[in-house]
Amino acid sequence: MASDAAVAHKQDYVNFFNTKKGIMSWVWTIDHKRIGIMYMCAITFFFLLAVCLGLLIRGELMVPNAMTDGKPFLDVFSPLFGGVTGGDLYNRVLTLHGIIMIFLFIIPSIPAIFGNFFLPIMIGADDVAFPKLNLLSWYCYVLGAIVAIISVAVGGIDTGWTFYAPYSANTSANLYLPLTAAFILGWSSILTGINFVVTIHRLRVKEMGWFEMPLFCWALYATSWIQVVATPVVGITLILLMMERFMGIGIFDPAKGGDPVLFQHMFWIYSHPAVYIMILPAMGVVSEIIPVFSRKTIFGYKFIAFSSIAIALIGSLVWAHHMFTAGMAYEARVLFSLLTFFVAVPSAIKVFNWIFTMFRGSIKMDPPMVFAVIFIILFSIGGFSGLVNGALATDVHIHDTSFVVGHFHYVMFGGTGVIFFGAMLYWFPKMFGRMYNKTIINISAIMFFVGFNTLYGGMKLMGLNGMPRRYADYVVEYAQIQKISTHGSWLMVAGIFLMFGTLFYSVFKGKKAPDNPWGGATLEWTVQTPPPLLNFDEQPENIRGAYDYPEVVAEGEPKETVGV
Amino acid sequence: MTDLSAHSDLEHGGHEIHYDPEGCKIGFWLFLFTEVFLFGMLFIAFGVYLTGYKADFQASSAMLDVKMGGINTLVLLTSSLTMALAIRAVQVDKKGQSLFLMLVTIGFAVVFCVIKYFEWTHKFHTGIHLGSAETFGVPSVLTDMPRGQQLYFGLYYVMTGFHAFHVLVGSILIMVAMYYVANGKVNKDRITLIENAGLFWHLVDLVWIYLFPLFYLIK
Amino acid sequence: MSDHAHEEHHIMPIKTYILVWVALLFLTGITIGASYVNMYKFTVFTAFFIATIKVTLVLLYFMHIRYEKPLYTWMIVAVLITYGIFIGLTYADYQFRW
């Protein structure tokens, strides 16, 4: 029912894609939306790359005793890794999978893509506070990624993504490049964090108070603070590690009186809050998606907002639960185990609020909602297994088994990764002005869900039975379940590629999407699709609350494509 | 928020960038916080080993030259004063005075680095270094010392070195500020840049205020 | 741009800067002097305590926190609390282990 006037209105504005053409207009752009799109391309590329590496690992684990029989599957790929073979190669593939997934995918994923693209629009600003800094942050990411890739070309490293000393201080692999890469990527993260905090403080439209912000902005605010406060800690840790290797200052070297456990302390003081850098923005996106597809106001806005801050705070109290078997004092272990349980509280508050938002809503199972529900299920499973890890006594049993690997894939991949898909599906029509085929995406979601649980559920079972993590080889008793797990990985990856294939096709060939295909109430749905260069033609006025659903629902069902 | 003329601007360049002094200041403070944690972790490492190797740390501390450290403290504190006054001079629109005071500040920074240089080379000559005999001319005596002392000097070189690096960066920032004050781009209505350079310089001072007693005065 | 006016309001007299500087030098003298007195357990603590007074002076006057909006104070307090937590919990390990 698009009237001629509306169509004319659509055509006479300049959207951010067609303001300026040519590659240079992207290279030097300071437009937060274009930077977001560039991040999206790079991050998706690295994600798919690391998924393939994960498949290689699963391939290696398909058969028992491959190493001892002298027939490791991975040896086929050894030319890609400078001729390293056998167990060494496995370690390097494993490390690479971890480093890419953590530093190049999960940490930047949601803030850098969707935070960049939507935070300014959601608070009614025309860009982030420091657009040039934003571009610098993007180039830090690019530079870090390049250095990381070069480090692979010269043979890769075998320390695991955690770089634990003292092994990392002595290994023959070239550690300077990956450490430098992580350091530069840290800067990218810090700059984005600074930018977002200032943006939220300074650029909200006048009539939007702190408690009228969409919850995604609250999540980003908490995340950005963690980025600013915690990232320098890992920066200095990596510098110390480099100096240790370079000059032998002795700080992590027991022979000189140093304490390797201090490295773990410093590393996890960053890296534990970093898991909240990863998960908080995802929780923010879920808080956006669920009310839209339940056609209902979010339940307990302030609780969700404050629980984001609470997670950021409590999350910085619990780092040593990664080190229960590292040789800490007993008293400290008990204390950290106790503190760990407190993190469960704000996370649980969020989950309950989401479920209550869905309760008695008129739920529409569109793809973003499907992924939000998958998130709640997988994150809850992961969260509960987190309690098993957090309890000191059980952790001693399962530490360094594949149970832990299963756990963090449930919370990180089943949490942040799933919402990376969910956010992409939710905002895809706004970003590209196209709609995708919902049925195909829903099929891919089911494939993903089944494959995921087979893969990582299998890992958890194996872990409980004692399968160690990071081992290239295993005894025949685990053969059956490893095989099932690997089959699960194929199904899951097929789902992922089906989804990204569909999205890629839809960027160019999808049906045109209207301004507000889902019937959302936040500000980004009030601007044209794709958004104009400066987001708002006029300063937004009389904005409605971010979750005023009775009002939105009264306006009738949203149209999902134009001209139907 | 913008009219059509802004749109045509965009087709040529990009966004017009709003000048928001308050935002810049908040942003710079956030950056300073990252520095606080950078040094903070070094201090935690120092503190941990201080509790572990108290006697060794005290013995090593006695080997440092309090006179040189003390003079350096005075130099840095005074440079902080001159920098603060330089900012004030811009606030009251006295360009020449401000440039002079910043030059003095950089002079103090140079004095600080020179003293540091003599302190370090003196240590190197007595064999307290982390390198080989070929690089430094004398074999390292550090490896024969007790473990706590090795750690102490390892941390000493890393932390004072890291601080000296920040003195260098701070001086460069002040030079940039001088350039913009000289050509008038930084003036009493657009003061953020020199203010932030000043904040950074004070932070360098703050770090030294803790470094000095912890390294030189724990005997 | 009301922010400009805001900045101009807080031009401190030169005298304040000089006084703060004198106080800082004086406290440095005390720190050095105190290090020659054997205070057993409290040596490090005293040095740390005096340094903290000096840092507060620099923050309040040289870095103008006294004249800024409360936001800055809150941010600094939050950061210091976080840092305090890092110290405290790290020591929760080392205090019992070493």
Domain residue spans of chain C:
1-67, 69-98
Are A232 and B52 inside 8 Å of each other by CB? no
| pLDDT tens profile C43-95 | 888 888 999 999 999 999 999 999 889 999 999 999 999 999 999 999 999 99
Residue C3 in this model has a pLDDT that exceeds 80: no
Instruction: For residue B2, name the pLDDT band (cuts at 50, 70, 90).
Output: very low
* Minimal Cβ distance to C93: which of A201, A316, A332: A332
| pLDDT tens profile A543-560 | 788 888 888 888 777 877
Average the pLDDT over A421-440 and give the result. Answer: 95
* Minimal Cβ distance to B80: which of C11, C48, C58: C58
| pLDDT tens profile A42-84 | 999 999 999 999 999 999 999 998 888 888 888 888 888 777 8
Tell me the shortest Cα–Cα distance from A389 to chain C, in angstroms.
19
- C85 and chain A in contact, CB less than 8 A: yes
pLDDT value of position B13: 41
Are A259 and B38 inside 8 Å of each other by CB? no
**Would B13 be classed as within a structural domain?**
no
Mind giving me the DSSP string for A439-455?
HHHHHHHHHHHHHHHHH
Residues with Cβ within 8 Å of B72's Cβ and at least 6 positions away in sequence, in order, are B112, B115, B116, B208, B212
Q: Which domain holds residue B170?
A: 21-216
Report residue A440 CA to chain centroid gap: 23
Helix then strand count (H, E) for chain C reads 4, 0
Residue A377 in this model has a pLDDT that exceeds 60: yes
Contact call for residues B202 and C62 (beta carbons, < 8 A): yes
Looking at residue A174, what DSSP letter applies? Answer: -
Residue C2 in this model has a pLDDT that exceeds 60: no
Average the pLDDT over A344-362 and give the result. Answer: 94
* Minimal Cβ distance to A249: which of B31, B53, B158: B158
Residue A206 in this model has a pLDDT that exceeds 50: yes
- A328 and chain C in contact, CB less than 8 A: yes
**Would B6 be classed as within a structural domain?**
no
Average the pLDDT over A394-407 and give the result. Answer: 94
Residue from A344, A350, A232, A342 nearest A281 by CA: A350
Q: Mean pLDDT in chain A?
A: 91
User: For chain A, percent helix, then strand, then coil, each to nearest 5?
Assistant: 70, 0, 30
| pLDDT tens profile B127-165 | 888 877 777 878 888 888 888 999 999 999 999 999 999
Residue A437 in this model has a pLDDT that exceeds 70: yes
Average the pLDDT over A5-19 and give the result. Answer: 64
Average the pLDDT over A399-406 and give the result. Answer: 94
Residue from A181, A159, A179 nearest A171 by CA: A159
Q: Looking at chain C, which subunits does it touch, using at least 3 CB pairs closer than 8 Å as the criterion?
A: A, B
**Would B12 be classed as within a structural domain?**
no
Looking at residue B16, what DSSP letter applies? Answer: P
- B189 and chain C in contact, CB less than 8 A: yes
- Residue C45 and residue A527: Cα distance in Å, rounded? 59
Residue of B nearest to C97 (CA): B52
Torsion of CA A12, A15, A17, A20, to 10 degrees: 70
pLDDT value of position A121: 94
Angle between helices B21-52 and B54-62 (to 10 degrees): 110
pLDDT above 90: percentage of residues in chain A: 72
Instruction: For residue B4, name the pLDDT band (cuts at 50, 70, 90).
Output: very low
Contact call for residues A142 and A42 (beta carbons, < 8 A): yes
- Residue B169 and residue B176: Cα distance in Å, rounded? 11
Domains and CATH numbers, chain A: 29-554 (1.20.210.10)
* Minimal Cβ distance to C63: which of B26, B91, B199: B199
Are C94 and A329 inside 8 Å of each other by CB? yes
**Would B69 be classed as within a structural domain?**
yes
- A549 and chain C in contact, CB less than 8 A: no
Are C97 and A332 inside 8 Å of each other by CB? yes
Torsion of CA B68, B70, B76, B80, to 10 degrees: -160
pLDDT value of position C9: 53
- A155 and chain B in contact, CB less than 8 A: no
**Would B81 be classed as within a structural domain?**
yes
**Would B151 be classed as within a structural domain?**
yes
Give exposure, A156-169, as e/b (b: 16+ Cβ within 10 Å). Answer: bbbbbbbbbbbebb
Average the pLDDT over B73-99 and give the result. Answer: 95
Residue B14 in this model has a pLDDT that exceeds 80: no
- In the numeric block, the tokens 């996890």 are attached to A268
Tell me the shortest Cα–Cα distance from B105 to chain C, in angstroms.
14
Which of C1-5, C30-34, C76-80 is least confident? C1-5
Tell me the shortest Cα–Cα distance from C79 to chain B, in angstroms.
7
Terminal-to-terminal C-alpha distance of chain A: 8
Residue B104's CB is within 10 A of a number of other CB atoms, namely 17
Total domain count, chain B? 1
The reported pTM is 0.93
CATH number at residue B63: 1.20.120.80
Residue A95 in this model has a pLDDT that exceeds 60: yes
pLDDT top residue among A363 and C4:
A363
Within 8 A of A270 by CB-CB distance, chain C residues are none
List all residues of chain C from 17 to 76 with a beta carbon under 8 Å from chain A.
71
Residue A439 burial by CB count (10 A; 0-12/13-18/19+): exposed, middle or buried?
Answer: exposed
pLDDT value of position B5: 35
Give exposure, C40-68, as e/b (b: 16+ Cβ within 10 Å). Answer: eeebbebbeebbeebbebbbebbbbbeeb
Average the pLDDT over A186-205 and give the result. Answer: 95
Average the pLDDT over A107-130 and give the result. Answer: 94
Residue from B154, B163, B194, B216 nearest B21 by CA: B194
pLDDT top residue among A68 and A494:
A494
What are φ and ψ of residue B189, in 5° steps? Answer: -95, -15
**Would B4 be classed as within a structural domain?**
no
Instruction: For residue A11, name the pLDDT band (cuts at 50, 70, 90).
Output: low
- B92 and chain A in contact, CB less than 8 A: no
Residue from A241, A236, A199, A239 nearest A217 by CA: A199
Sign of CA dihedral B99, B101, B103, B106: negative
pLDDT value of position A540: 80
Residue B169: both structure tokens together: 């960066």
pLDDT value of position B17: 58
> Is the ipTM above a cut-off of 0.90?
yes
Residue A410 in this model has a pLDDT that exceeds 60: yes
